[in-house]
Amino acid sequence: MKLLDPISRIMTSNIVKLNLSDQLTKAEDLFNKYKIRHLPVVDGKEVVGMLSYRDLQKVSFTDEALDENLPMESVVYNSFTLEQVMSKQIISVFPWTPIREATKILAENNFNALPVVDNGNLVGIVTSVDLLKYFYSQYSE
């Protein structure tokens, strides 16, 4: 297993993200359109937060309504700003951060995604699913 491989080997570089000024309805649209669970939030090029699908569910009171056919209540979204709902205490990694170190950060902090930054700019995102796929590929070779 090549745990010293850089995170850039497995990160997603075609990033779907939110701007700090975006509405929560846009987040819902992006989650549904791209079938993703985490969205970095940027102010300009700087990562200022992370929004998870679970964060959105919490404010929309849909935890008990897990049926994918039920739309989230957009009216509720107008009561909150993205900044109020997103996680602001984020940890980011660099493209050259070893996969092993990123895995440790996710595990120790109970995170499911990390933004990848270079010179203060968002260049990618790595998720727990990316790591699972990587580890699986190491054992199936």
| For residue 77, pLDDT beyond 80 | no
Q: What's the CATH code of the domain at 95?
A: 3.10.580.10
* Tokens 């205490």 sit on residue: 89
Could you tell me if residue 2 is inside a domain? no
pLDDT score recorded for residue 75: 56
Could you tell me if residue 23 is inside a domain? yes
Residues 134 and 40: their CA atoms lie apart, in Å, by 22
pLDDT greater at residue 70 or residue 59: 59
What tens digit of pLDDT does each residue of 50-60 get? 999 999 988 87
**Which of 13, 1, 5, 6 is closest to 135 using CA atoms?**
1
Could you tell me if residue 1 is inside a domain? no
Could you tell me if residue 31 is inside a domain? yes
Question: What's the average model confidence in pLDDT over 92-113?
Answer: 95
Could you tell me if residue 108 is inside a domain? yes
Number of domains observed in the structure of the chain: 1
pLDDT score recorded for residue 109: 94
pLDDT score recorded for residue 62: 47
| For residue 65, pLDDT beyond 60 | no
Question: pTM value?
Answer: 0.85
DSSP assignments along 5-28, one per residue = SBGGGTSB-S---EETT--HHHHH
Could you tell me if residue 29 is inside a domain? yes
Helix runs in the chain, H state only: 24-34, 53-60, 74-77, 82-85, 99-109, 128-139
Distances in Å between the alpha carbon of 15 and those of 3, 25, 42, 134? 24, 18, 11, 19
Cβ partners under 8 Å of residue 58, min gap 6: 85
Full residue range of the structural domain in which residue 115 is found? 7-139
pLDDT score recorded for residue 73: 53
